[in-house]
Structure 1
Amino acid sequence: MSVANASANNPEVQPKPKEQLTNGETKLDEKKLKQFFIGSIDQGTTSTRFIIFNGTGEPVAQHQIEFNQIYAHSGWHEHDPQEIVDSVEQCIEQATQAFIDRGHKVDEIKAIGITNQRETTVVWDSNTGEPLYNAIAWPDTRTKGLVRDFKEREGADDVLNICGLPLSTYPSSLKLVWLIEHVDAVKQAYEEGRLSFGTIDSWLLFHLNGKLEKNVHVTDASNASRTMFMDLNTVQYSDKLLSFFGIDRNKVKLPKIVPSSCPDSFGSMAAGILKGIKIAGCLGDQSAALVGQQGFTPGSAKNTYGTGCFLLYNVGEKPVISKHGLLATVAYDFGRSRKPVYALEGSIAVAGSGVKFLMNNLGFITHSHKISELASSVKDNGGCVFVTAFSGLFAPYWIDDAKGTIFGITQFTERGHIARATLEATCFQTKAILDAMELDSGHKLTELAVDGGMSNSNLCMQTQANIIGIPVDRPAMRETTALGAAIAAGFAVDIWKEFDELKEINQKDRMVFEPNITKEESETMFKKWGRAVEMCRGWLSADDTNNEPES
């Protein structure tokens, strides 16, 4: 039986409602909380949105804008930094106006949180505030030559134990190195000591606070932990790491690392419809999703199916350095004498972007949500396995020299088979990450909370449950990333004071997908996926990089 075969004759898989607490007790004063509102900026890889939540975690107004993806060369992926700022400001204006049109007042919004695509790197002139180059997005692979070089350097073996991240094209560090080495304006600013560096959160906070007017240059611990410049244990920049990457702290301005929830560090809106409203929370998008799923206890986990796919597993107040290909990261730091909370993370480069590839590049579908319909037009994958290694493979494989490869194509193959194989690729990689997390943590996950665009597909979530062999738990309100940023901001301004108060937020009408194939069938399919991964390894070599620019 193929993946999700049990549901193939009934494409609209019907998950069952999750059992709710029935003791009648509630910690939420819903009447009171519905009078408080928090804005959340969710700046993602392909779009920006602004959502206004009430104190019970319900969205009451929102606006979303997609922005341009810049692919100047094969393997390159950039964003226009100013376009990102413009999209944020437009979303804030539109969503807030909708909020007002519903009879609310601006001063009912108590704070704003920010969540953002991580690792994406921005550099700007400290004197003028102007960007010096496009933002290099996290999936960009132009630094793979640098990765090879740095792996050979003295001290390379120590990097993982300090920052929790393996050397790869993914983090911000080598993006900054590339910019200094290859962009004259950046190199000159660096040599003259006027180069400012940041991830998207820092860039937005700088702008929203009026740029040079307040010159706010900060980042939170969850974002800082993605740069490869931060020591996980001290939650401060590591001189040893900066020296390893050849970065002189006297020549580049790094953002100050602050807690993810703080009433003062992030400043306030300097202009626009929300002028004067405090910015009080900031989290990298995957950390925000963990918070939005109430992953506050060690052993809780979530998987977000966005442009990429990211699985975070709460390991508590001490970092766990993975021995099985995962990342160690700061999950969140809510300050006020609380210790930072850490997570193990598995990152999949291609999830929703695989669906967009079928839509935009191959013309298989006209809208992303039609992927399930196409995948359900066939009873199984027809023998196709699609290793969606457009940017190599991330955790737990870390294969930089792979490329996207479809195995098992015959004259029988239809679009529906490839569509199903595209969905399955994300599910298989999630299984590989869960297996690695079990080895690192010594504990097997009993349930997986999910969110993000692809989680809207019942077929995909049933497939996921079948492949991992445990229930998949999906909330009705799936804007958990934005909700997490709102929670961080709400904590800072005392809308909530303890994590226990959040246990009932976004718990209504959750649905559960139970596995409906045997363990043996699941294992057989996963072994086939493993063979495909090994066969796509080594497509690129140091001498033959398919005409991709090298560092």
Structure 2
Amino acid sequence: MEKLILAIDQGTTGTTALLVDRSLTIRGRATVDFPQHYPRPGWVEHDAEEIWFSVTQAIRRALHSAKIDPKRVAAVGITNQRETTLLWERDSGRAAAPAIVWQCRRSSEICRELKQAGHEPLVRRKTGLVLDPYFSGTKLTWLLRGDPQLRRRAAAGQLAFGTVDSFLVWRLTGGRSHVTDASNASRTLLMELRSCNWDEELLQLLEVPPELLPRICDSSEIYGTTRGLEILPDGLPVAGMAGDQQAALFGQACFEPGDAKCTYGTGAFLLENTGGAPVESRNGLLSTVAWRLGGRPSYAMEGSAFIAGAAVQWLRDGLGLFKSSADVEALAASVPDSGGVVFVPALTGLGAPHWKSEARGAITGITRGTTAAHLALATLEGIALQICDLVKAMGEDKGSPLKRFKVDGGAAQNNLLMQLQADLLDLPVVRPQMVETTAMGAAMLAGLAVGFWSGTAELKSSWREEHRFDPRMSPQVRGELLQRWQEAVSKA
């Protein structure tokens, strides 16, 4: 009976379950959406039970649709929305508060307070991150400051903290394993980047009791086994774990220093493998753990554009320019250029390398001749130009340019966007046959832990290119677009 790896990709708006065989072929797949909650402007929450329900239903549907016996599962891997913060009761497993989503800005004032007190250089040096509400630590500070009872229960060891990976392992193992992996821990503002240990000084700074914290593990090891689930038999190893962007880097077989990928989804995330030592950015990028294998961490530089595919969704839903997001490609391709229009998609602020949370979207260069097609093309150019800023900053930090650029995610299916990216970077852009690389990375990590695959060399040999986009834009046109972009960004 052929064995399969079950990968759980728990994202911001839904959960996907994949069943993967030894050749990295998908044998079963299902996605289940769940709601986001917006109790106040700038606040974003999830209900932990709605997350868990989406996970169980995605697994059930993937097994059922492919007619696969759950006993064929050799191991379970998890990848997850990274900075979303959960607190739950150790005795019951129930959430003690709503999950605060990575997009939520409610801890802005705490970040401002810490910056004004001069703590950001310390945080930057120890964690590789910046003081921004994006990360988990200040979300946890906000929860504990606002509810004295929660703080008392936390200090008494009655509560558990984790990002979504920790919560899912807890539920899958029947409450026996409270763990996270180094890639997720590196996004909390609480882990020292080089040692991959929780840092006492950071815990005190953010007022976090150590009793709350999970054990930091490798990204590929057996954390526990399934227990008490209706959807899966007892005893299956839960064996792989990584944050979504790091899992995508692994799924793209970016195993060597200098390998890079960009995932285009709601936002866009560029990661480059920097090897066994973190690179300290001078240009507003993040240093993060890519994964830890055999106790040895590999690091990555990361740049995030908060809005990518979401800009196309705004054209669809906010302006009604088309009915389906896929229609943007044909509309944008109907004009030879954007007619001088530049769109800076800073709809929720600017991420790296600018880190301007107060920035807002800007559209410049509009004339009487501007059409919906010009705006559509300017939107795709704006997405690609954000990535150009990240690539430039990354090259300056490392002292060497990127050589090749792998892409994945839903918006990477847009051929015009990918061609624009190649043109504006003046680099080949390579799209794999499997664009669901996030879930594939989780499957690979779990499979390595149980001997399903022999090592990364075998996995790399299975990676397949689907399309290569070579640059064809003239240097003059590229230069003009980049100059107009920089002028527009300065106004955002």
Q: Give the TM-score normalised by structure 2.
A: 0.96
1:272 aligned residue (225, 230, 235):
230
Q: What SS is found at the alignment partner of 1:478?
A: coil
Instruction: Show the counterpart of 2:381.
Output: 424
Select which of 345, 363, 369 maps to 2:302: 345
1:137 to 101, 105, 114: 101
Equivalence for 2:479: 523
Deviations 1:22-71 (A, max 9, x none): xxxxxxxxxxxx94411100011122100111111111110011221222
Q: Residue 326 in 1 paired to residue 288 in 2? A: no
Per the TM alignment, residue 528 of structure 1 is displaced from its structure 2 partner at its CA by 1.3
2:431 is aligned, of 465, 468, 474, to: 474
Q: In 2, are the aligned partners of 1:448 and 1:471 still within 8 Å (CA)? A: yes
1:246 aligns with one of 207, 219, 223: 207
**Residue pairs, 1:428-467, within 5 angstroms:** 428-467=385-424
- Contact 2:19 2:62 survives alignment (8 Å): yes
Aligned to 1:258: 217
Give the drift of 1:91. Answer: 0.4
How many residues align? The count is: 491
| Separation in structure 2 between the aligned mates of residue 456 and residue 441 of structure 1, nearest angstrom | 29
Relative to structure 1, is the Cα distance of residues 195 and 362 closer, same or farther in structure 2, using a 3 angstrom cutoff? farther
Q: Which string of whole-angstrom CA distances, capped at 9 and with x for unpartnered residues, describes residues 80-135 of structure 1?
A: 211111000000000011232xxx43332211100001111112233332212221
User: SS of the counterpart of 1:311?
Assistant: strand
Name which of 226, 229, 235 aligns with 2:190: 229
The AA in structure 2 aligned to 1:86 is: F
* Equivalent-residue separation in structure 1 for 2:422 and 2:83 (angstroms): 30
- Distance in 1 (CA, whole Å) between partners of 2:46 and 2:373 is 32
Residue aligned with 1:319, SS? coil
Question: Is the partner of 2:462 in helix, strand or coil?
Answer: coil
* Stretch of structure 1 that moved more, 189-198 or 298-307: 189-198
Q: Give the fraction of aligned pairs with identical amino acids, expressed as a percent.
A: 41
Q: Which residue of 2 aligns with 1:310?
A: 269
The residue type equivalent to 1:218 in the other structure is: V
SS at match of 1:535: coil
* Match status 1:295 vs 2:254: yes
- The residue that corresponds to 1:548 in the other structure is none
2:423 is paired with a residue whose SS is helix
Give the letter aligned to residue 92 of structure 2: T
2:468 equivalent to 1:506:
no
Within the alignment, does 1:72 sit opposite 2:36 as a pair?
A: no
Q: Per-residue CA shift, 1:128-185, capped at 9, x if unaligned?
A: 3221222111122222222211112243321111110011121111111122223566
In the alignment, the residues of structure 2 paired with residue 249 and residue 459 of structure 1 have an alpha-carbon distance, to the nearest angstrom, of 49
In structure 2, the CA distance between the partners of 1:203 and 1:521, relative to structure 1 (3 Å rule), is same
From the superposition, tell whether residues 383 and 69 of structure 1 become closer, same or farther in structure 2 (CA, over 3 Å). Answer: farther
Structure 1 position 289, deviation (Å): 0.5
Give me the whole-angstrom Cα distance separating, in 1, the residues matched to 2:440 and 2:252: 9
| Cα distance, 1:225 vs structure 2 | 0.3
Change (3 A) 1:266 1:343: farther
Deviation at 1:271, TM superposition (A): 0.7
Distance between the aligned counterparts of 2:251 and 2:49, measured in 1?
28
In structure 1, the partner of 2:159 is 195
CA distance in 1, matches of 2:156, 2:339: 59
CA 1:269/1:414 → structure 2, altered by over 3 Å: closer, same or farther? farther
Q: After alignment, is 292-301 or 116-125 more displaced?
A: 116-125
1:188 offset after TM fit, Å? 5.3
Q: Against the structure 1 CA distance between its residues 143 and 408, is the aligned structure 2 distance closer, same or farther, given a 3 Å change threshold?
A: farther
- Return the alpha-carbon distance in structure 1 between the equivalents of residues 40 and 334 of structure 2: 35
SS in 2 for 1:196: strand
Residues 484-538 of structure 1 show CA distances to partners (whole Å, capped at 9, x for unaligned) of 000000000011122111122231x5210011112232122112111111111xx
Q: Could you tell me how far apart the structure 2 residues matched to 1:155 and 1:266 are?
A: 37
Unaligned runs of 5+ in 1: 1-33, 537-551
In 2, are the aligned partners of 1:93 and 1:272 still within 8 Å (CA)?
no
Cα deviation for residue 378 of structure 1 reads 2.8
Equivalent residues of 2:120, 2:130 under 8 A apart: no
Structure 2 CA distance, aligned partners of 1:191 and 1:218?
Answer: 18
Q: Counterparts of 1:256 and 1:475 in 2: how far apart (Å)?
A: 34
Displacement after TM superposition at 1:269 (Å): 4.9
In the alignment, is the contact (CA less than 8 A) between 1:75 and 1:391 conserved in 2? Answer: no
Q: Distance in 2 between matches of 1:427 and 1:195?
A: 43
Looking at structure 1, the residues matched to 133 and 371 of structure 2 have their Cα atoms a distance apart, in angstroms, of 34
Q: Give the letter for the 2:457 counterpart.
A: D
* Equivalent residues of 2:63, 2:69 under 8 A apart: no
Distance in 1 separating the partners of 2:186 and 2:91: 27
Counterpart contact for 2:63–2:70, Cα < 8 Å: yes
Q: Which has the higher contact order (CA 8 A, sep 6+)?
A: 1
Question: Conserved in 2, the CA contact under 8 Å of 1:75 and 1:140?
Answer: yes
For each residue in 1:258-286, what CA deviation from the matched residue of structure 2 results, as whole angstroms up to 9, or x when unmatched? 000002x2432531232222211001000
Please say which of residues 339-348 and 405-414 is displaced more in the overlay: 405-414
Deviations 1:344-374 (A, max 9, x none): 0111111122222222333222222222122
Residue of structure 2 in register with 1:395 after alignment = 352
Matches within 5 A, 1:338-377: 339-377=296-334
Q: What is the one-letter code of the residue matched to 1:504?
A: S
Return the alpha-carbon distance in structure 2 between the equivalents of residues 387 and 203 of structure 1: 36
SS of 1:247's equivalent? coil
* Partner Cα distance (2:374, 2:141) in 1: 42
Contact 1:123 1:186 in 2 (8 A): no
Give 1:410 shift. Answer: 3.0
Q: Distance in 2 between matches of 1:408 and 1:73?
A: 34
Displacement after TM superposition at 1:191 (Å): 5.8
Per-residue deviation, residues 365-405 of structure 1 (Å, max 9, x unmatched): 22222221222233322322222222211111111111222
C-alpha offsets along residues 295-328 of structure 1, whole Å, 9 cap, x if unaligned? 0000000000011111110010111111111100
8 Å CA contact 2:102, 2:134 repeated in 1: yes
